[in-house]
């Protein structure tokens, strides 16, 4: 039976009555059309779920928290995705599917061939938009936490950060396959923008310790490459 899951980023405890915000109330009332005393599940990112009952009281939606289940569906892999900024729906797709596949964090990257330009105001709006997509994907997929989505930064800034794990970039010409890697639970993936990496960017990442791997002989689109890599890694070393 389908029970809606709602992300509620505040402390929760059994026996508590909570009044939900307007957007969540509208979703439960008018999109899902829940009736009084139907079940919902709340989670707040603390690796557990709370079963609750839904009630409508005048114009307010209230949930009564009945019980707590200590459950986690986090992957044993800690995957950090650096995604070259792509246009509109492509970036949204990456945020949604990588959340479903269990990534820990996502950093949008400004690169030499990046066609997306964001000033501070637009960057803030896009960040909130991407965070909302990740929240919806976590609610749908059963995750009990939300991936961290960082403010867009340059490839140089991101790749220069200290990272105690395996760092990867991809090239169809590489003879190294993901199955050839020595398993490491912390993995950093760099995916280029729609027009690909500049050769100087590749050289820079190699100096930072990134390993060039192949995802097969075909050239994958920017919104496909990262999702493919995450899926393979989860299948080889994670929980798929």
Checking if the pLDDT of 76 tops 90, the result is: yes
User: With pLDDT > 70 as the criterion, what percentage of the chain qualifies?
Assistant: 100
Q: Of the candidates 111, 204, 209, which has an alpha carbon nearest to the alpha carbon of residue 153?
A: 111
Give the DSSP letter string of 86-100: --HHHHHHHHHHHHH
pLDDT at 88: 78
Provide the phi-psi class of 46: left if phi over 0, else alpha when psi is between -120 and 50, else beta: alpha
Checking if the pLDDT of 103 tops 80, the result is: yes
Cα-Cα end-to-end distance for the chain:
23
pLDDT at 35: 86
pLDDT digits (tens, 9 = 90+) for 82-102: 999 988 799 999 999 999 999
Q: What is the mean pLDDT of the chain?
A: 91
User: With pLDDT > 90 as the criterion, what percentage of the chain qualifies?
Assistant: 67
Report how far residue 48's alpha carbon sits from residue 71's, in angstroms, rounded to the nearest whole number.
5
Q: Of the candidates 68, 48, 69, 59, which has an alpha carbon nearest to the alpha carbon of residue 20?
A: 59
Checking if the pLDDT of 116 tops 80, the result is: no
pLDDT at 140: 93
Q: Which residue has the higher pLDDT, 116 or 158?
A: 158
Sheet holding 39-43, edge to edge: 5-7, 39-43, 49-57, 60-69, 17-19
pLDDT digits (tens, 9 = 90+) for 37-70: 889 999 998 879 999 998 887 778 889 999 999 9
Q: Cβ(50)–Cβ(68) under 8 Å?
A: yes
Q: Cβ(138)–Cβ(145) under 8 Å?
A: yes
pLDDT digits (tens, 9 = 90+) for 157-170: 999 999 999 999 99
User: pLDDT category, 143, cuts 50, 70, 90?
Assistant: very high
The CA–CA distances, whole Å, from 127 to 92, 108, 200 equal: 11, 9, 28
pLDDT at 59: 75
* Cβ neighbours of 97 (radius 10 Å): 18
Indicate the SS3 state at residue 225: helix
Checking if the pLDDT of 121 tops 80, the result is: no
Write down the pTM of the prediction. Answer: 0.91
pLDDT at 227: 97
pLDDT at 46: 84
Q: Domains of the chain, with CATH numbers?
A: 5-69 (2.40.240.20), 78-237 (3.40.1280.10)
pLDDT at 133: 96
Averaged pLDDT for residues 204-218: 94
pLDDT at 67: 94
Q: Which residue has the higher pLDDT, 120 or 31?
A: 31
Q: How many Cα neighbours within 13 Å face the side chain of 30? A: 8
Counting runs of H as helices and runs of E as strands, what totals does the chain give? 6, 12
Phi and psi, residue 137, nearest 5°: -65, -35
């Amino acid at each position: 039976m389908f029970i809606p899951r709602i992300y509620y980023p505040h402390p929760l405890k059994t026996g508590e009555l909570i009044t939900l915000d307007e957007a969540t109330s509208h979703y439960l009332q008018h999109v899902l059309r829940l009736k009084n005393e139907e079940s919902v599940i709340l989670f707040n990112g603390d690796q557990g779920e709370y079963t609750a009952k839904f009630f409508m009281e005048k114009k307010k939606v209230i949930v009564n928290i009945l019980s707590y289940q200590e459950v986690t569906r986090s992957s044993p892999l800690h995957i950090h995705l650096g995604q070259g900024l792509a246009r509109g729906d492509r970036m949204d797709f990456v945020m949604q599917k990588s959340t479903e596949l269990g990534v820990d964090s996502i950093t949008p990257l400004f690169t030499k061939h990046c066609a997306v330009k964001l000033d501070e105001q637009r960057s803030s709006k896009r960040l909130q938009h991407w965070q909302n997509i990740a929240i919806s994907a976590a609610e749908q997929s059963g995750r009990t936490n939300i991936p961290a989505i960082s403010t867009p930064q340059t490839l140089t800034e991101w790749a220069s950060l200290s990272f105690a794990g395996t760092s990867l970039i991809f090239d169809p010409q590489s003879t190294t396959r993901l199955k050839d890697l020595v398993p490491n639970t912390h993995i950093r993936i760099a995916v280029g923008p729609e027009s690909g990496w500049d050769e100087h960017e590749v050289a820079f990442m190699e100096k930072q310790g990134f390993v060039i791997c192949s995802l097969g002989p075909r050239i994958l689109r920017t919104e496909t490459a990262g999702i493919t890599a995450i899926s393979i890694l989860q299948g080889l070393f994670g929980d798929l």
